[in-house]
Amino acid sequence: MNSKTVILTILIQLTILVGTVKSQSNKAIDLSGAFKVGDTFVPPETVKLMRGSLKTIDWKALKDKVVILDFFDTFCGTCIAIMPELQKLQDTYPDKVQIFNVGWQDKETLDKFFANNSFLKEHKVNLSVIYADTYLKNHFPHSGAPHVVFLYQGKVQAITFFRQVTAENILNLFEKGTIKLPFKNDFGTIDLSEERNTVKNLKMSVLVTGYQDGVPAEAFSTKQDSVTGQFKTSIINRSIFRSIISTTTRIKKSPFYIREDRVVWKVNDPKKYKDVDEVGEAWLNENAICYERIDLQRKPDSVLARLVLDDLHKLFGLRSYYSTKTMKSLVLKRSAIRKSTAPANGKGPIYENSGVLAGFIDFSNLFPPAVDLVKSKERIQISSFNNLEELNDQLGPYGIEAVIEDQNIGVFVVEELNQ
């Protein structure tokens, strides 16, 4: 894997971690013309079309196919990452589905994007693209991409998430005529505390529910109610594990990137707490939580985070903590200075120090967890590499060697109290 691929992987993973990429505009969204699931789809009179095999769109002729509108942005890593899978679905089921990428940018911008994107060219992505769109975006408003719409038999069948674009869902809709998928609504709101409004002299309360359909996920946040003056701390539609992590890092920043192999599960079934199999919204629908805490007075962030973490631990019978474990690791060590044979040496990304380099290697998941024993403050420039030997060849001039060996490293433990 070369350095460009590493960077793309990191960008895609970062995008997924935060959810979706925000829209290009911060202006207020008019929701009055939004289509809803079950509505008759009124197509635009004309669209601007590029790429793919279609020259024009005959919406009536597409009535008997599942039509998927995939709203994307060129700066959205997840949008780019899923395009090869969309292409495979289009190629596999051309008589049952028609997939359109829908973008707001002009043709010149998109032509340049597709011409210069080696990842999409390598995977032979050539889906039909509706460009310079305003009509569809206005009727399917969203603040984050990817944003996906399923149409069939002239009706809006689903407004959902990118992970729902699967062969199974396409075939189910095609054969059964209807389908129920998790609802993506970037503007949905929820107030878990409505029933508390009748309680007098409320000082503090905690409420936890399951997944709330049509409400955007939200990490740990605290807001003051303008009417009651109370302070509401919320976590919306997040896994129990992600809720614990986001709360823990508010108490103290994690000393390492908490990747999957740095989590020690002392529980009967980790799948209750984290989407281990990366199912997506279907898993969240069954297992995600919404947490809300009401306090009369504002508390310092670290104090509040400790209270929230204590709530989560007690409610779910857990405890979580940092610890150490001996495991295979990629260890950066001092070594004799060696001459590099890499032709591209002196090119590529520049890392501020050895710790930053270790962090990027760790985040990429190319090797076991990375540990920096060098502690160098020297800038390190590394170009493309495909394996540990090539990486070490370029580390030579800096007097650094990367070795895979057992090392006692930091881990994050999630433990059920009944274990």
The model's pLDDT over 63-116, given as tens digits with 9 standing for 90+, comes to: 999 999 999 999 999 999 999 999 999 999 999 999 999 999 999 999 999 999
Domain boundary residue among 176, 202, 235? 176
**In a 3-state reduction of DSSP, which class is residue 371?**
strand
Q: Which domain holds residue 372?
A: 324-416
Tell me the C-alpha distance between 47 and 44, whole Å: 7
Residue 27 class from Cβ within 10 Å (0-12 exposed, 13-18 middle, 19+ buried)?
A: exposed
User: 283 with 364, same domain?
Assistant: no
Mean pLDDT of 163-179: 97
370-372/318-334 β-pairing: parallel
What integer pLDDT is reported at residue 205 of this predicted model? 87
Confidence band of 386 (pLDDT split at 50, 70, 90): confident
Token readout for 115 is: 């011409």
Q: Is residue 262 part of a domain?
A: yes
At residue 393, what is the residue type?
A: D
Would you say residue 184 lies in a domain?
no
| Domain identity same for 288 and 364 | no
Looking at the structure, tell me whether residues 10 and 151 fall in a common domain.
Answer: yes
Cα of 121 vs its chain's centroid, Å: 24
Which tokens go with 280? 């997506």
Q: pTM score > 0.75 for this model?
A: yes
- Which pLDDT score is estimated for 199? 53
Residue 167's CB is within 10 A of a number of other CB atoms, namely 14
d(CA 147, CA 161): 6
Residues 351 and 311 in one domain: no
Q: What is the pLDDT, as a whole number, of residue 331?
A: 97
- Token pair 């896994």 in the structure block, residue: 239
Q: Are residues 358 and 228 in the same domain?
A: no
The answer to whether residues 147 and 32 belong to one domain is yes
Structurally, the chain folds into a number of domains equal to 3
Peptide bond preceding 182 in cis form (omega within 30 of 0): no
Mean pLDDT of 380-389: 89
Let me know whether 135 and 198 are in one domain. Answer: no
CB 397 within 8 A of CB 338: yes
Q: What is the pLDDT of residue 181?
A: 94
- 270 CB burial (10 A radius; 0-12, 13-18, 19+): middle
Tens-place pLDDT, residues 294-326: 998 899 999 999 999 999 999 999 999 999 999
> Is 67 part of any domain?
yes
Taking residues 194-198, report their average pLDDT. Answer: 56
Note whether residue 234 is domain-resident: yes
The mean per-residue pLDDT over the stretch 384-391 comes to: 89
In this prediction, residue 156 carries a pLDDT of 98
- Give the Cα separation of 46 and 36 in Å (integer): 22
Asked if the model's pLDDT at residue 290 lies above 70, the reply is yes
In a domain, 248, yes or no: yes
Q: Note whether 314 and 417 are within 8 A (CB).
A: no
Q: Is 189 part of any domain?
A: no
Give per-residue pLDDT as tens, 21-41.
554 444 567 888 999 999 999
State which H helix or E strand residue 265 sits in: strand 263-266
Q: Which helix (H) or strand (E) holds 93?
A: none
CA separation for the pair 43, 280 (Å, rounded): 30
Residues 395 and 274 placed together within one structural domain of the fold: no
DSSP 174-211: HHHS--------TT----TTGGGGG-TT--EEEEEEE-
Q: Which of 109, 143, 176 is the last residue of a domain?
A: 176
The b-or-e profile of 308-332 (16+ CB within 10 A means b, else e) is bbebbbeebebbbeeeeeeeebbbb
- Final residue belonging to a domain, choices 131, 150, 176: 176
The reply to whether 360 and 259 lie within a common domain is no
pLDDT score at 9: 39
CATH at residue 114: 3.40.30.10
pLDDT grade for 54, boundaries at 50, 70 and 90: very high
Instruction: Determine the average pLDDT of the residues in 239-255.
Output: 95
- 228 and 365 co-located in one domain: no
Residue 188 in domain: no
Residue 415, H or E segment = strand 400-416
- DSSP bridge pairs for 22: 144
Question: How confident is residue 19, by pLDDT bands cut at 50, 70 and 90?
Answer: very low
Q: Is residue 48 part of a domain?
A: yes
3-state secondary structure 135-151: HHHHHCCCCEECEEEEE
- How high does pLDDT run on average in the chain? 90
Q: Which two tokens stand for residue 238?
A: 């997040």
> Do 59 and 123 reside in the same domain of the chain?
yes
Residue 140 shares a structural domain with residue 265: no
CA separation, residue 147 to residues 68, 143, 158 (Å): 10, 9, 11
Please give the angle made by the CA atoms of 152, 158 and 161, to the nearest 5 degrees.
Answer: 130
Q: How confident is the model over 324-371, as pLDDT tens digits?
A: 999 999 999 999 999 988 776 667 889 999 999 999 999 888 999 999
Residue 172 has pLDDT above 80, yes or no: yes
pLDDT tens-digit profile of 124-170? 999 999 999 999 999 999 999 999 999 999 999 999 999 999 999 99
